[in-house]
Amino acid sequence: MKRKGLFWLGLLLILAVVVSSAMGCGAKKEAKEESKGTEESAGTKTEGEGKGEKKTFKVAMVLPGPISDAGWNANAYKGLMEAKDKYGIEAAYSENVHLSDFEETFRDYASKGYDLIIGNGYEFAEVNAKVAPEFPNTWFVAINGDNFGPNYGSLQYKHWEVGYVAGALAGRMTKSGIIGFVGGMEIPSVSEPAAQYERAAKAFNPQIKALTSYVGSWEDVAKGKELALAQINAGADVLFHEADAAGTGVVQAANERGVWAIGACGDQSVIAPKVVLTSLLQESPKLVDFIVKSLIEGTIEGKVYILGFADGVQGLAPYHEAVPEDVRKAVDQIVEDIKAGKITK
């Protein structure tokens, strides 16, 4: 009996060891799977953040003038801020950057890990070509640029379109038969709309005379005003400009002398509501949105993107009440014809 009891006791002890071992293996396996799940989560992380989390893209903008110019630079800055709110990007900007500081400013942002650096103007295209090869993991884009490469490109407006529409309006609103244009720098994105401004006005009335002047700067408001006053003294009673901050001087001159002005880039009736007939809008916020979205979606390319009225990045601000209904209809139809390709440069 005693030996039989010992037998059963031994059997029970063996079973206990087996069960214990089985439970131990199961516990270890479960812990390993849990650990594996943690490792997979860790494996989805990018540098400094979880792979399962959204990457925060860093976008910087370099502007040659002030963000308070109510036009070119103000609109681009607005686009950057809107993209920040819409896409949750980390945004930074530098305004009033002089030509001699362009490259240093670009390199500074690129060295800080910015994913996209936008130069707000034609003059940044050359800088992109120089700096981009040094930072192959950063995209560089020049608004109004004309070049591209593996990690840099350009965004262009169809500038001729705004010049043509402004000329169509000026030609119908002038009483003296003389209209004026003031540009900032004599570069293609300015000289082209200047030529189309004259072309459209003369398409309505071949006898119209168009005066053209260039400030030689984007920021010299006083010079812009001086040139506009000279055109007014020469008989111009409708003025249009493509001069960024210097263009506010053109609008000021028109306001002081009681002649009509056509604004550019943004709605410049805020500067002189009594004399601004309308403004030719170049929606930099939409251009900025386009390129930031392309960056985030991974579709950005080294190319020159060219966009206009048909793409929704150019338009007209509300007309002054003094613009007759028939003139409004005629100008609006011209916009539609441009969109449809019936009017081309």
Domain residue ranges of the chain, discontinuous segments joined by +: 58-158+286-307, 159-281+315-339
CB < 8 Å & 24+ apart, contacts of 269-278: 269/317, 269/318, 269/320, 270/70, 271/70, 273/320, 275/251, 275/320, 276/251, 276/320, 277/169, 277/173, 277/238, 277/319, 277/320, 277/322, 277/323, 278/169, 278/316, 278/317, 278/318, 278/319, 278/320, 278/323
Homologous superfamily, domain 58-158+286-307: Response regulator (3.40.50.2300)
Can you give the pLDDT at residue 266? 87
Q: Are 219 and 65 in contact (CB under 8 A)?
A: yes
Helix (H/G/I), strand (E/B), else coil: 185: coil
CA distance between the termini of the chain: 115
C-alpha to C-alpha distance for 231 and 151, rounded to whole angstroms:
44
Residue 25 has what pLDDT?
A: 31
**Over residues 99-118, mean pLDDT:** 97
Does the pLDDT value for residue 19 go beyond 70? no
Mean pLDDT of all residues in 116-137: 97
Is 57 in a helix, a strand, or coil? coil
Please give the residue that has the higher pLDDT: either 39 or 262.
262
- Average pLDDT of 138-150? 97
For residue 52, name the pLDDT band (cuts at 50, 70, 90).
low
Q: Fold match between 58-158+286-307 and 159-281+315-339?
A: yes
The model carries a pTM of: 0.76
- Beta bridge partner(s), residue 142: 119, 154
Beta bridge partners of 314: 282
- Arch. (CATH architecture) of 159-281+315-339: 3-Layer(aba) Sandwich (3.40)
3 pLDDT higher than 50: no
Q: What is the pLDDT of residue 45?
A: 26
In DSSP notation, 73-109 reads HHHHHHHHHHHHHHH--EEEEE-S--GGGHHHHHHHH
